[in-house]
C-alpha cells in the first residue's frame, strides 16, 4: 500500500490551525475586562472557535493523507472528537481567565489544551472505517503528546503576556503560531506513529469515500469563520458601545475614559472634574429617584459641550469628567464658567424646580504627566479645593494642592492610631451669662498633637474623620473624656455642665441613649451636667430618626442643643417639633451684627425661642461692642474669644473662681 501527503493541503491545515488559534485567543482576551455575563459569552465563543479549528485542522490533514484504501468515518465518533476539542478548549481558557494565575493553573491549562488536541486526534483516527488495522508506535505517540503539551503551555504563556499589554501584536501572532504548531505538530507526529495493516488488497479510489468528510470540514471551517466574524462585529458594534455607555446619562462611562487615556497621543489635554455640590442632601431629602433625575439632566447639559476635541464622561455617582484637547488657560476658564452658569439654572424634576451648584477642578496637561490618570487625580484634588473655597466655583490644580493631598493621606492613616497613642486631648471654651458674668457651662473641643507634625487644627482633621467611620470612635472617646472631666470637677466641688458635639455617623451607627447612659452610670455622673450638640445638617439629614434619638436622650436628663443654627437648611417652623433645649446662633450672625436687618433677624429668633422656652447662646462674640448689641437685643448667653479661647480644665477652674 502506498501512502503519501499532498503538501498544499498540509500547508492549508497548518494555516487553519494558526488562524483558529489567532481568532480564539483574540476572543478570549476580552474576558479580562468583561462583566460576569459577558465572560461566559466570550469563553464559549472562544472555545467554539478553538475547538472547531483543531477539528478542522485534523480532518483537513486527513484529506491531505492519500492512501489506496477506501476510508469512511463513523459520524458519532467524529462528533465526539469535535466535542472533545471544544470542551478541552473551554477548560483550558477557563483556567487561564483570571488576571492573576499561578504556575499550577497555567500548567493545568496547558495540560487541558494538550489533552483536547490529543483526544481529538486519536478519536478522529478511531472514527476511520476501512479494511485494515491501525497500529501505533508507542514512543512516537508519547512524543506527540509531549509536543502538544509543551507547545500548548508556551502558547498560553504568551497569551497571558499579550493580553496584559496594549502593544502586544507580536506576542499575539507568536502565541497563535505556537498554538498552531501544537495542533498540527501533534497531528502529524501522531500520523507518523500510525501504521496501517491491510486485511486484503483494496484498490478502491479514496476520493468518493472522502466526499462527506470534505463537506463536513468545509462546513466546520465556514462556521469557524462566521463565528469569529460575528464575534468581532458584535464586539465593535454592540458590546463596545454598551461597555462604554453610562447607564444613567447620555455620556460615556469610566471604562471609556480609561480607553481614551490609553490611546490618546495628542500634545495637550485639560481635565475638568465636575462635582455636584451637596448631592447627598438632594438624595436624602428628595429621594434617590429624584437624585437620578438630577444626574440625568446634568449629564444631558454636559453632553451639549461634547464636540471635536471635547469628550465627557460620568465617572462616579455625581462626578463627571470633561477632557478638552486644548491647553489655553483663558479658553478653558471661559469654558468652565459657561458650564457652571448652565448648570446653575433650575432643573425641572417634577412639580418644583431644583437649584443645584457645581464645583469644578481643572488640571492642565504638562510634561510631568506620564499617564492620563494622573491628570484625573490632579483635577480631583482641584475640585476638593473648589469645595473648600466655598463651592459653586472652579479651582486650578497647583503643586501646593498636591502637597496638601499627601498631608491629608498621611493624617488619614495616622488618625485611627491617635486614640491609642494618647495624642488627642480636650480643651474647653466657657459659655458666659453676660448679665451676671458667671460661667454657665463649657463646650468640649477636641485637639490633636501629632508626634511629627505638631498641633493639627480640628478644622483639618475632623473632616477627614467624618469622611471615614473613625468619627464614630472619635465621638465616643470625646463623650467619655468629657463625662470623666465632669466627674473630676464634681469631686473637686464644681458643678460645670459640658457640651459635646455629636456627629451624624455616630447618631446613625450607635445606640446613642444606651451609650450615654452606660457612660454616665460608669462614672457616676449627674445627667443634667451633660449636654449634647447636634448641627442643623444632622437634623435635616433624617428628621424623623433624629427627633426619635433626641427624645430618647432627653429622657435621661441630658440636655440637647442645636449647634450652628442659621447656617444650613433650618426652617423656623421646625423648631416647635424638635425636642431641644437650646439654640446656638452661628458666629456668621455676629460678622454683620452692625446691620439693622441682621439685628432684626436675631431679635426675631430670640422672640420665637422665648415663646418656645428655648435658651439661645450666641457664638463668636469677640468684642465688647458685639456683646452690647446682643444684650440690647435681648441675648445674654454668649460664647467667644471676647471671654476666652478654648483652654485646659485647670484654667476653667481658675476662671470659675474669678467670675463666680
pLDDT digits (tens, 9 = 90+) for 421-445: 999 999 999 999 999 999 999 999 9
Distances (CA, A) of 38 to 21, 27, 635: 21, 11, 67
Query: What pLDDT score does 206 carry?
Result: 45
Residue 541 inside a domain? The answer is yes
pLDDT band at 532 (very low <50, low <70, confident <90, very high): very high
Q: What share of the chain is helix, strand, coil (3-state, %, to 5)?
A: 60, 15, 25
In this predicted structure, the answer to whether residue 601 has a pLDDT above a threshold of 60 is: yes
Q: At what angle do helices 470-491 and 512-523 cross, to 10 degrees?
A: 30
pLDDT band at 214 (very low <50, low <70, confident <90, very high): low
Residue 58 inside a domain? The answer is yes
In this predicted structure, the answer to whether residue 494 has a pLDDT above a threshold of 90 is: yes
3-state secondary structure of 458: helix
Query: What pLDDT score does 207 carry?
Result: 43
554 Cβ contact partners less than 8 Å away, ≥ 6 residues apart: 560, 579, 581
Low-confidence winner among 43-47, 195-199, 385-389, 458-462 (lowest mean pLDDT) = 195-199
pLDDT digits (tens, 9 = 90+) for 602-636: 999 899 889 989 999 999 999 999 999 999 999 99
Query: What pLDDT score does 620 carry?
Result: 92
Residues 456 and 534 occupy one common structural domain:
yes
264 neighbors 324 (Cβ within 8 angstroms) = no
According to the 3-state scheme, what is the secondary structure of 180-237?
Answer: HHHHHHHHHHHHHCEEEEECCCCCCCCCHHHHHHHHHHHHHHHHHHHHHHHHHHHHHH
Residues 29 and 73 occupy one common structural domain:
yes
pLDDT band at 479 (very low <50, low <70, confident <90, very high): very high
Q: The domain that contains 341 carries what CATH number?
A: 3.30.70.270
Cell of 430: 466657657
Return the CA Rg of the chain.
Answer: 38
640 neighbors 619 (Cβ within 8 angstroms) = yes
Cα–Cα distance for residue pair 7/15, rounded to 1 Å: 12
Q: Which residues pair with 408 in a beta bridge?
A: none
Cell of 246: 453610562
332 Cβ contact partners less than 8 Å away, ≥ 6 residues apart: 270, 272, 324, 326, 362, 364
pLDDT digits (tens, 9 = 90+) for 233-290: 566 555 566 668 888 899 998 888 888 887 787 778 899 999 998 888 788 777 888 8
Residue 402 inside a domain? The answer is no
Query: What pLDDT score does 234 carry?
Result: 62
Residues 108 and 175 occupy one common structural domain:
yes
pLDDT band at 564 (very low <50, low <70, confident <90, very high): confident
Cell of 459: 478644622
In this predicted structure, the answer to whether residue 338 has a pLDDT above a threshold of 90 is: yes
What average pLDDT does the structure give for the chain? Answer: 82
pLDDT digits (tens, 9 = 90+) for 68-107: 666 777 778 878 888 888 888 788 777 876 666 777 888 8
419 neighbors 474 (Cβ within 8 angstroms) = yes
Distances (CA, A) of 413 to 171, 406, 409, 467, 509: 42, 11, 6, 13, 22
Residues 543 and 653 occupy one common structural domain:
yes
Own/partner contacts of 603-609, CB < 8 Å, gap of 24 or more, are 603/633, 603/634, 605/565, 605/566, 605/572, 606/633, 606/634, 606/635, 607/634, 608/572, 608/575, 609/575, 609/583
Cell of 361: 477642578
pLDDT band at 208 (very low <50, low <70, confident <90, very high): very low
Residues 205 and 178 occupy one common structural domain:
yes
Is the whole model's pTM more than 0.85, yes or no? no
473 Cβ contact partners less than 8 Å away, ≥ 6 residues apart: 416, 419
What's the whole-number mean pLDDT along residues 525-554?
84
Q: The domain that contains 502 carries what CATH number?
A: 3.20.20.450
Residue 82 inside a domain? The answer is yes
Looking at the chain, the whole-number percentage of residues with pLDDT higher than 70 is 83
Cα–Cα distance for residue pair 602/305, rounded to 1 Å: 45
Residues 261 and 168 occupy one common structural domain:
no
Query: What pLDDT score does 221 carry?
Result: 64
Residue 404 inside a domain? The answer is no
564 Cβ contact partners less than 8 Å away, ≥ 6 residues apart: 535, 536, 584, 586, 619
Q: Specify the number of domains making up the chain.
A: 3
What's the whole-number mean pLDDT along residues 402-411?
84
Residues 280 and 339 occupy one common structural domain:
yes
pLDDT digits (tens, 9 = 90+) for 552-561: 999 999 999 9
What's the whole-number mean pLDDT along residues 31-45?
68
Of residues 214 and 194, more confidence is placed in: 194
Cα angle 4-7-10, degrees, rounded to a multiple of 5: 100
pLDDT digits (tens, 9 = 90+) for 353-377: 788 899 999 998 865 445 677 888 8
Measured between its terminal Cα atoms, the distance across the chain in Å is 124
Residue 403 inside a domain? The answer is no
Which residue range(s) make up the domain with 453?
A: 411-659
Which of the listed residues 330, 363, 397 is the one where a domain comes to its end?
A: 397
Residues 314 and 385 occupy one common structural domain:
yes
Query: What pLDDT score does 546 carry?
Result: 81
Amino acid at each position: 500500500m502506498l501512502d503519501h501527503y499532498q503538501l498544499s493541503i498540509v500547508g492549508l491545515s497548518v494555516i487553519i490551525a494558526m488562524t483558529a488559534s489567532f481568532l480564539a485567543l483574540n476572543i478570549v482576551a476580552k474576558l479580562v475586562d468583561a462583566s460576569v455575563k459577558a465572560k461566559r459569552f466570550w469563553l464559549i465563543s472562544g472555545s467554539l472557535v478553538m475547538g472547531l479549528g483543531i477539528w478542522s485542522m485534523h480532518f483537513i490533514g486527513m484529506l491531505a493523507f492519500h492512501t489506496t484504501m477506501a476510508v469512511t468515518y463513523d459520524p458519532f465518533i467524529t462528533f465526539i472528537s469535535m466535542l472533545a476539542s471544544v470542551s478541552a478548549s473551554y477548560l483550558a481558557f477557563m483556567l487561564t481567565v483570571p488576571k492573576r494565575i499561578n504556575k499550577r493553573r497555567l500548567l493545568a491549562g496547558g495540560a487541558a489544551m494538550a489533552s483536547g488536541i490529543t483526544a481529538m486526534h486519536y478519536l478522529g483516527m478511531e472514527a476511520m472505517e476501512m479494511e485494515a488495522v491501525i497500529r501505533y508506535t508507542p514512543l512516537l505517540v508519547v512524543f506527540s503528546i509531549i509536543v502538544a503539551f509543551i507547545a500548548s503551555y508556551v502558547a498560553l504563556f504568551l497569551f497571558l503576556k499579550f493580553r496584559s499589554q496594549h502593544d502586544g501584536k507580536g506576542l499575539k501572532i507568536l502565541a497563535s503560531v505556537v498554538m498552531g504548531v501544537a495542533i498540527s505538530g501533534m497531528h502529524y507526529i501522531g500520523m507518523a506513529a500510525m501504521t496501517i495493516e491491510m486485511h486484503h488488497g483494496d484498490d478502491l479510489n479514496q476520493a468518493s469515500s472522502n466526499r462527506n468528510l470534505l463537506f463536513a470540514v468545509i462546513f466546520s471551517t465556514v462556521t469557524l469563520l462566521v463565528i469569529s466574524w460575528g464575534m468581532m462585529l458584535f464586539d465593535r458594534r454592540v458590546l463596545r458601545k454598551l461597555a462604554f455607555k453610562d447607564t444613567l446619562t447620555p455620556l460615556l462611562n469610566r471604562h471609556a475614559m480609561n480607553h481614551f487615556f490609553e490611546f490618546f497621543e495628542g500634545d495637550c489635554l485639560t481635565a475638568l472634574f465636575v462635582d455636584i455640590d451637596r448631592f447627598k442632601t438632594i438624595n436624602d431629602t428628595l429621594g434617590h429617584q429624584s437624585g437620578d433625575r438630577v444626574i440625568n439632566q446634568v449629564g444631558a447639559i454636559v453632553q451639549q459641550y461634547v464636540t471635536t476635541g471635547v469628550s465627557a464622561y460620568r465617572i462616579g455617582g455625581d462626578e463627571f469628567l470633561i477632557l478638552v484637547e486644548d491647553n489655553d488657560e483663558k479658553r478653558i476658564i471661559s469654558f468652565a464658567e459657561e458650564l457652571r452658569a448652565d448648570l446653575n439654572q433650575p432643573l425641572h424634576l417634577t412639580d418644583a424646580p431644583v437649584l443645584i451648584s457645581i464645583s469644578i477642578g481643572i488640571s492642565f496637561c504638562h510634561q510631568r504627566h506620564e499617564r492620563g490618570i494622573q491628570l484625573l487625580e490632579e483635577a480631583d484634588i482641584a475640585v476638593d479645593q473648589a469645595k473648600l473655597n466655598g463651592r459653586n466655583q472652579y479651582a486650578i490644580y497647583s503643586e501646593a494642592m498636591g502637597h496638601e493631598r499627601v498631608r491629608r493621606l498621611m493624617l488619614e492613616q495616622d488618625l485611627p492610631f491617635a486614640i491609642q497613642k494618647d495624642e488627642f486631648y480636650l480643651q474647653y471654651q466657657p459659655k458666659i451669662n453676660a448679665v451676671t458674668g458667671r460661667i454657665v457651662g463649657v463646650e468640649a473641643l477636641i485637639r490633636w498633637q501629632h508626634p511629627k507634625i505638631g498641633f493639627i487644627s480640628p478644622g483639618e482633621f475632623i473632616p477627614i474623620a467624618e469622611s471615614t467611620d473613625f468619627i464614630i470612635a472619635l465621638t465616643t472617646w470625646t463623650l467619655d473624656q468629657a463625662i470623666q472631666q465632669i466627674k473630676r470637677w464634681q469631686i473637686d466641688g464644681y458643678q460645670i455642665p459640658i457640651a459635646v458635639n455629636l456627629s451624624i455617623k455616630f447618631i446613625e451607627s450607635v445606640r446613642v441613649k444606651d451609650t450615654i447612659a452606660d457612660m454616665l452610670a460608669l462614672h457616676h455622673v449627674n445627667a443634667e451636667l451633660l449636654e449634647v450638640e447636634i448641627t442643623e445638617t444632622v437634623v435635616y439629614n433624617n428628621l424623623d430618626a433624629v427627633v426619635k434619638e433626641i427624645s430618647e436622650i432627653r429622657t435621661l436628663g441630658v440636655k440637647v442643643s442645636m449647634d450652628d443654627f442659621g447656617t444650613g437648611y433650618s426652617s423656623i417652623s421646625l423648631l416647635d417639633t424638635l425636642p431641644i433645649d437650646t439654640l446656638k446662633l452661628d458666629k456668621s450672625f455676629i460678622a454683620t451684627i452692625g446691620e439693622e436687618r441682621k439685628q432684626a433677624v436675631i431679635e426675631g429668633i430670640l422672640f420665637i425661642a422665648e415663646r418656645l422656652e428655648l435658651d439661645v447662646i450666641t457664638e463668636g462674640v469677640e468684642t465688647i461692642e458685639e456683646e452690647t448689641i446682643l444684650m440690647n437685643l435681648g441675648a445674654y448667653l454668649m460664647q467667644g474669644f471676647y471671654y476666652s479661647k478654648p483652654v485646659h480644665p485647670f484654667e476653667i477652674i481658675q476662671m470659675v473662681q474669678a467670675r463666680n
